[in-house]
């Protein structure tokens, strides 16, 4: 077979590989949303409701801290074996979750799922960068982004369906046929030629990175919820995180072949992109946490309508991702990302102009455009850093980019949650004297509003409190958006692009 015919054969297989990548990313995307609607049924069956937050937290923790390690391993041993390993671990974790006998077991098996999901998130986008050209990658990122959008809509619906008409255990079992199909497609159609070279696997760096990442993520997840930020435990956890980060950096600087190479953070192009992903991840959590409840508690909408408003961002995101290719080929990766960051700033500010009488369609339009802003920011940031490094470094830079995004989500949950609770507490403490006896705690505000049993005065006061607190969250989102816009100035206007080489 000639080189040209071999290249043509690879191109013929790319649709099958893309289908496999979409099925694979669906596993991780669905598992981030499908569990939420089955909380009452799972807790009723297994008990241990007080531990339920860890069903989500442990998955995010295990996924995030392993991404950089998998990115490095994908550069050393190839994308295919790492992706297959991650998918197998994820499917084993899924099957085990369906067999859980109590909440502790479910949390443990969710950690196994998260370990597999880390490999999926680290390699899927790297493979897309390997087999598609710079001109094609934006369209492909649009396809991959659309999976997240479909998962945001289908996940809660499927979770509710299984919980109501069958058993919550099918929430995890449904991963098996999807994952097996994706595995078959990857094994048959994805071929790569890995150039073996002598290497030294940085074991001590890997161990320290996992420990540091776990402590840091645990601190971000629990600070402000399990304990106060300004408390002995809160300050101690922050200080411990800083010490571990310093030790990890020292180990990685001295390592011959570090897991997270320092050059990834010294390179201004990559530093700007990664900091921008941290900012985007933080902003992303604002609507996810508070918009559905705002829609119901303040606007008086039903759960389905509130879910539609939130998921409408999934319309704008893949469309903007697909179209961003034309834009970054004309004006550059940095300028395209800046348009997305400025969109985040403007749309976060626009929410602060929302009044009680504003139409719910304002929220729909705002979410569609916010999703488009995320697409214009995330796609050129990822494709841009992938385009300036050769194959053997692409896994590391993709892993760093994805790690930054999930780290940002954890930071956003902590920061925006703290802002909301602080504002709500301040408003409740200033309630009129005649209402003091009926004012609930922050954790009970939603229950009181949805019960419909409170007086009109209390309901109006709590709606106003929720309205003001949510507006405060969006104001902070706007500030994070400004930070995201500014860090992009670290990047050059024109990236030093390298051409893709066939493997």
* pLDDT tens per residue across span 150-185: 776 677 667 767 767 778 888 888 889 989 999 999
Span 18-66, pLDDT tens digits: 888 988 888 877 776 677 667 667 777 777 666 666 777 788 888 888 8
Q: Examine domains 1-199 and 262-503 and report if their fold is the same.
A: yes
Selection from 197, 199, 203 nearest residue 252 by Cα = 203
Please give the Cα distance from 90 to 179 (Å, whole number).
9
Q: Taking Cα atoms as reference points, which of 382, 398, 401, 403 lies closest to residue 65?
A: 403
pLDDT of residue 6: 46
Find the largest Cα–Cα distance for the chain: 86
Per-residue pLDDT band for 4 (boundaries 50, 70, 90) equals very low
- Ranges of beta strands (E only) in 250-354 are none
Q: Give the N- to C-terminal CA distance of the chain in Å, as an integer.
A: 15
User: What's the pLDDT tens digit per position in 244-280?
Assistant: 888 888 887 777 767 677 777 888 889 999 999 999 9
Contact 229, 421 (CB under 8 A): no
Alpha-carbon distance of 408 to 276, in angstroms, equals: 9
| pLDDT (mean) for 142-155 | 75
Residue 130 CB coordination number (10 Å): 22
Tokens of 386: 């992938």
For the chain, domain boundaries: 1-199, 201-256, 262-503
The CB density around residue 193, as the number of other CB atoms within 10 Å, is 8
For residues 380-394, one letter each, b for 16 or more C-beta atoms within 10 angstroms of the residue's C-beta and e for the rest, the string is bbbbbbbbbbebebb
Instruction: Say what percent of the chain tops pLDDT 70.
Output: 83
Task: Decide if 450 contacts 302 (C-beta within 8 A).
Answer: no
Identify the CATH class of 1-199: mainly alpha
Higher pLDDT, 500 or 160: 160
Kind plus residue range of the DSSP H or E element containing 293? helix 268-297
Instruction: Give the separation between CA 260 and CA 266, rounded to whole angstroms.
Output: 12
Structure tokens at 454: 């409170």
Higher pLDDT pick, 413 / 489: 489
**Neighbouring C-beta atoms of residue 230, cutoff 10 Å:** 9
Which pTM was predicted? 0.81
What confidence tens digit (pLDDT) does each residue in 88-138 have?
Answer: 999 999 999 989 888 888 888 998 998 998 899 888 888 888 888 888 887
CB atoms within 10 A of CB 487: 20
> Which DSSP state fits 441?
P
Residue 213: per-residue pLDDT: 78
Query: What is the C-alpha to C-alpha distance for residues 223 and 414, in angstroms, rounded to an integer?
Result: 7
Mean pLDDT of the chain: 81
Beta bridge mates, 363: none
pLDDT of residue 435 exceeding 80: no
Q: Which residue has the higher pLDDT, 102 or 205?
A: 102
What's the confidence (pLDDT) of residue 480? Answer: 94
Nearest Cα neighbor of 411 from 483, 332, 360 is 483
Q: In a 3-state reduction of DSSP, which class is residue 384?
A: helix
Q: What is the spatial distance between Cα 402 and Cα 367, in angstroms, rounded to a whole number? A: 23
Is a pLDDT exceeding 90 seen at residue 388? no
Say if CB 396 and CB 75 are below 8 A apart. Answer: yes
Least confident residue range of 162-166, 271-275, 312-316, 355-359? 162-166
Say what the pLDDT of residue 227 is: 66
Question: How much is the pLDDT for 128?
Answer: 85
Helix orientation angle between 313-331 and 360-386, rounded to the nearest 10 degrees:
40
Task: Say which CATH architecture domain 262-503 belongs to.
Answer: Up-down Bundle (1.20)
Task: Give 259's DSSP letter.
Answer: S
């Amino acid at each position: 077979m000639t080189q040209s015919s071999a290249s043509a054969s690879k191109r013929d297989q790319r649709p099958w590989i893309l289908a496999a990548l979409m099925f694979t990313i669906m596993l991780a995307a669905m598992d981030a949303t499908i569990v939420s609607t089955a909380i009452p049924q799972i807790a009723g069956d297994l008990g241990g409701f007080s531990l339920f937050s860890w069903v989500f937290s442990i998955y995010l923790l295990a996924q995030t801290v392993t991404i950089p390690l998998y990115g490095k391993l994908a550069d050393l041993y190839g994308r295919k074996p790492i992706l297959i390993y991650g998918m197998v671990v994820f499917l084993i974790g899924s099957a085990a979750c369906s067999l859980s006998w109590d909440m502790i077991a479910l949390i443990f098996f969710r950690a196994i799922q998260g370990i597999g999901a880390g490999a999926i998130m680290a390699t899927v986008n790297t493979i897309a960068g390997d087999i598609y050209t710079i001109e094609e990658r934006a369209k492909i990122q649009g396809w991959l982004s659309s999976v997240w959008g479909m998962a945001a809509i289908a996940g809660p619906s499927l979770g509710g369906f299984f919980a109501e008409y069958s058993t919550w255990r099918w929430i995890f079992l449904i991963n098996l046929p999807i994952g097996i199909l994706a595995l078959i497609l990857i094994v048959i159609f994805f071929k790569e030629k890995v150039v073996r070279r002598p290497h030294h696997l940085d074991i001590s760096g890997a161990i320290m990175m996992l420990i540091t990442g776990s402590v840091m993520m645990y601190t971000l997840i629990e600070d402000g919820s399990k304990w106060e930020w300004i408390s002995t435990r809160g300050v101690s956890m922050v200080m411990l995180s800083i010490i571990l980060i310093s030790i990890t950096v020292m180990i990685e600087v001295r390592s011959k072949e570090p897991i997270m190479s320092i050059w990834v953070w010294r390179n201004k192009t990559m530093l700007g992109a990664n900091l921008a992903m941290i900012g985007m991840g933080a902003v992303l959590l604002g609507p996810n946490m508070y918009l559905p409840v705002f829609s119901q508690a303040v606007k008086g909408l039903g759960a389905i309508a509130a879910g539609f408003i939130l998921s409408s961002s999934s319309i704008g995101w893949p469309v903007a991702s697909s179209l961003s290719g034309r834009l970054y080929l004309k004006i550059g990766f940095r300028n395209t990302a800046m348009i997305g960051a400025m969109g985040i700033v403007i749309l976060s500010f626009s929410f602060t102009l929302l009044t009680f009488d504003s139409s719910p369609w304002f929220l729909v339009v705002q979410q569609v455009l916010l999703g488009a802003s995320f697409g214009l920011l995330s796609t050129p940031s990822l494709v841009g850093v992938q385009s300036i490094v050769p194959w053997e470094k692409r896994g590391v830079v993709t892993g760093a980019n994805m790690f930054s995004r999930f780290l940002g989500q954890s930071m956003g949950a902590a920061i925006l949650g703290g802002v909301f609770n602080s504002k709500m507490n301040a408003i409740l403490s200033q309630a009129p004297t005649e209402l003091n006896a009926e004012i609930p705690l922050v954790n009970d505000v939603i229950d009181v509003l949805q019960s419909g049993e409170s007086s009109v005065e209390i309901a109006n006061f709590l709606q106003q409190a929720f309205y003001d607190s949510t507006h405060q969250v969006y104001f902070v989102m706007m500030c994070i958006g400004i930070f995201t816009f500014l860090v992009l100035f670290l990047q050059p206007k024109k990236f030093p692009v390298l051409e893709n080489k066939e493997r």
